[in-house]
Chain A
């Protein structure tokens, strides 16, 4: 284990009956980073978190925390801070008592406890609320108390189990950024579990996309979004236009892909699979441009506008390109230029660099 790794899972395996919740998962969380486990419900992300926290034991494999094997250590001895989904604040204790709980459990001196509680409540800007009971606080304040309680004892790592799910949208964004800022400021190694891909993109240093007990892809938000490794990741993160085809040939670092209905598309790629390989071409909706505005692109499709959703700053278009297939397009809203209405005929295009090549053979491995 290298020194900059705080938490490591080695071939962690856990099954519930015939369902593999963790299918030999390897994962390293680096010192100070926020790594997000992102996946749909039932992907095994909660099991992974429970195994790290000590609420579940893996059937096989090991969990190492700062080079120490903690696979079978009880949760109380792990020194892991955790923010629960519904905060799990103790309702019969006030804010200060909640935050001092982990310190009392460590038999810390009263003076030290007081100092640290004041520090932690200061960090989350809740110093004024020390005497309040959890139910007298708003959702956002409760969330901050839970965070203060999780970091007050200087944990080795921080676990966040969908901690923003219960907050309304506007507050959620604010608190997310706040948590991210504190996490970076305190250099807290953090493992964050969520099913919300937008949240994952905003907060993470790296994202591990989980599906069926396996990590499908591990990478920075940028890599995960721009260079998904397979159809699952492409579908799960963001909105995708996917065109299935076969490699026809290549021209330097550009692959030529023939789609099922015979059209040719150019896709820039570092490694180009051999001719005849089944591939998927991914084009994100915001990469598509309207050629009727005068733009030139080497890849083009024409169709009719099937739906226009105006969002203020941008608009979403669904374009029927025939054969029962749609392309989704986002474009900045503007004054003037071509105004699109349902039924208008449009030409859309994109450059080879706007598209990403996914090799179909890596899709849906059992």
Chain B
């Protein structure tokens, strides 16, 4: 009898462990991985920035005009990339929703192919297209439209082109996901109630896709803030974003303490932006 009870007890205890301990155990590898490779370095970086025991590095980062300019520049580029991506991605996502399956598949393929290609490869491809002896200049020269090559590379525009190209899918996919859930009946109802196409879009469709807009915008913006390879290669040193600056302090100037302070500034700024988007999304969810 007692043997039976203890057996049942043991089974019960096992089930408790299976149900509750199981999820903890399953997430353990990820937790350890993130602790070692993410949390620890971030804390180290933070400690590094305070190694002098003062706020001097932060003071420098936020008062020295050079660094403030870079920070603002980074912000501006991230914002531009987000806005441009939005205007390109919104119609594209809508096209993917309404297109016939064949065209949808073709569109998805065109979107995913570059997405899976290395950023480095794509950035070099843009250099080959935009360069002094690139495809565009060669074509315009041979057609006699221009006499001397245009400088299309190493300016803010080329950085924007490259970054938008890389980041646009991050805008398209959340939009696509949200648009799929919009009930087509709602647009019909809007038309039937007297709304012309554009007003139905502005009053009904667009507000309903707002969660996707916010999700996409936050992804693109946050990723833009920390972008490195594309600004380095397509900006050619003339367009400085904060990640580029940080790299210079680490590898060239060997001022790890200041690099740490800049990194913390970037991280903080990113978290602030993230929390703003999150709040916006929350109020959207309450509505939709």
Contact = CB atoms under 8 A, between A and B. Distances in A.
Interface of A: 53-55, 74-82, 84-86, 88, 90-92, 101-102, 104-106, 133, 149-150, 153
A102 B192 CA distance: 9
B194 A90 contact: no
B189 A88 contact: yes
B26 interface: no
Interface string B206-217: 011010000000
Given A86-B185, A88-B183, A105 B194 contact: yes
B285 to A, nearest CB: 11
B189 A82 contact: yes
A85 B185 CA distance: 9
Contacts of B95: none
A76 B185 contact: no
A151 to B, nearest CB: 11
Given A92-B208, A105-B199, A82 B185 contact: no
B195 to A, nearest CB: 5
B203 interface: yes
Interface string B276-288: 0000000000011
Given A105-B194, A153-B194, A75 B207 contact: no
B203 A101 contact: yes
Contacts of A82: 189, 192-193
A230 to B, nearest CB: 34
Nearest to B182: A91
Contacts of A55: 188, 191-192
A101 B193 CA distance: 7
Contacts of A92: 207-208, 210, 287-288
Contact of B188 (A77, A78, A88, A105): A88
A105 B189 contact: no
Contacts of A85: 185
Contacts of A81: 193
B287 A133 contact: yes
18 contacts: A74-B191, A76-B192, A76-B193, A76-B194, A81-B193, A82-B189, A82-B192, A84-B189, A88-B183, A88-B188, A91-B186, A91-B208, A92-B208, A102-B193, A105-B194, A150-B193, A153-B193, A153-B194
Nearest to A97: B203
B97 interface: no
Nearest to B284: A92
A150 B188 CA distance: 13
B190 interface: yes
Contacts of B192: 53-55, 75-76, 78, 80, 82
B185 A88 contact: yes
Given A91-B288, A92-B208, A76 B189 contact: no
A85 B192 CA distance: 14
Contacts of B191: 54-55, 74-76
A75 B188 contact: yes
Nearest to A161: B185
B196 interface: yes
Given A76-B193, A90-B190, 8 more contacts: A53-B188, A75-B188, A76-B192, A88-B183, A90-B203, A92-B287, A102-B193, A133-B287
A54 B196 CA distance: 13
A88 B287 contact: no
B98 to A, nearest CB: 16
Given A55-B188, A105-B194, A90 B204 contact: yes
Given A53-B192, A54-B192, A133-B287, A90 B186 contact: yes
Contacts of A75: 188, 191-192
Nearest to B196: A76
A78 B188 CA distance: 13
Contacts of A88: 183, 185-186, 188-189
Contact of A102 (B183, B194, B288): B194
A133 B186 CA distance: 15
A133 B200 CA distance: 19
A105 B195 contact: yes
A150 B194 CA distance: 11
Given A90-B186, A91-B208, A101-B190, A76 B287 contact: no
Contacts of B188: 53, 55, 75, 84, 88
B185 A149 contact: no
A76 B208 contact: no
B219 to A, nearest CB: 22
B185 A106 contact: no
A101 B207 CA distance: 14
Nearest to B197: A76
Contacts of B287: 91-92, 133
